[in-house]
Homo-oligomer: A and B are copies of this chain.
């Protein structure tokens, strides 16, 4: 059986989980759920040598230090250092150049949480089988509510495994999302993909020929330095950045989706993180020294100062690096726009 090549994308600006996440230490590199960081957990999930080749990591130079610290000595791993951030399509194309053209790539964000690894691995098998037939495969997440923060995928005709994609839908409003759930047949776009490397490059060539040429040129000029690969800066800088969803998935005639229920969360804000964490019987949870009196559904996370909370419900308190955040759970989505988060 052909090994699957994990491609781990490390992007993200580190504002939505401020003040814990910072520009210099964004979400993937924090141990938010357990002792391993989200980035490490992304590596761990696709580390069984019986099934996976060593990972290809794509990241900006600002985070190479964190990656070298956290990835440890993964034998045969490769770190592609993006000269500039150009969104996901060019990043994946770089990885596709680095791999054999018949390699099956499993493209994973480095900042998501997946509670059910067995379900994830089952999805990987389906996706890999579809990718081997040159489908561009998206992971669909069975929706658990009318979320407005995700893209949706409408499932089309069933394939031997998974489904054709009938339609990609941008983040809908609440009413539209509720209608999708009522109608059924919609899944969230989880940002996880499987491609055959050569097939992916062919699709980029077909729909974004300029991008394809610029990535190819950047790759030809790449410098190797230990496990790091540095594509040429000038041609990469000239790329018009675009997501893989826009550049490939919404254009290709061979889009497929595998649907999974794997306890997925993009940990998009403090409320989502709170939901993903175990709590006591009253919905409370604390990381660091804390005292919760007469509280329900309160989360405290502190890097040192003791936090005492009295008489509150549905509140999140975060103390980190000299900043104190106190937010309602519903206000957590606005945290990324606070002065502290944007002016780091």
| Contact pick for A310, options B308, B309, B312, B327, CB 8 Å | B327
Taking a contact as CB atoms under 8 Å apart, the answer to whether A310 and B325 are in contact is yes
Say which size band chain A's interface belongs to.
20 to 34
Segment with Cβ contacts to B, from A39-47, A49-57, A182-190, A298-306? A298-306
> Which B residues are in CB contact (< 8 Å) with A338?
291, 293, 308, 310
Known: A317-B326, A324-B319. A334 touches B294 (CB 8 A): yes
Taking a contact as CB atoms under 8 Å apart, the answer to whether A324 and B306 are in contact is yes
Interface centre among A311, A327, A331, A338 (most CB of B within 10 A): A311
A178 interface residue, CB < 8 Å from B? no
Closest Cβ neighbor of A339 among chain B residues: B291
A35 interface residue, CB < 8 Å from B? no
| Chain A 312-333 per-residue mask, 1 if CB under 8 angstroms from chain B, else 0 | 1001010100111111101110
Taking a contact as CB atoms under 8 Å apart, the answer to whether A326 and B334 are in contact is no
How distant is the Cα of A305 from the Cα of B322 in the complex, in angstroms? 5
| Chain A 6-33 per-residue mask, 1 if CB under 8 angstroms from chain B, else 0 | 0000000000000100000000000000
A247 interface residue, CB < 8 Å from B? no
How distant is the Cα of A294 from the Cα of B311 in the complex, in angstroms? 20
A149 interface residue, CB < 8 Å from B? no
> Which B residues are in CB contact (< 8 Å) with A339?
291, 308
Identify the A interface with B (CB < 8 A): 19, 291, 293-294, 302, 304-312, 315, 317, 319, 322-328, 330-332, 334-335, 338-340
A-B contact pairs, 14 of them (CB 8 A): A19-B308, A304-B322, A305-B322, A306-B323, A306-B340, A308-B324, A308-B325, A309-B325, A310-B325, A310-B326, A310-B331, A311-B327, A312-B326, A326-B326
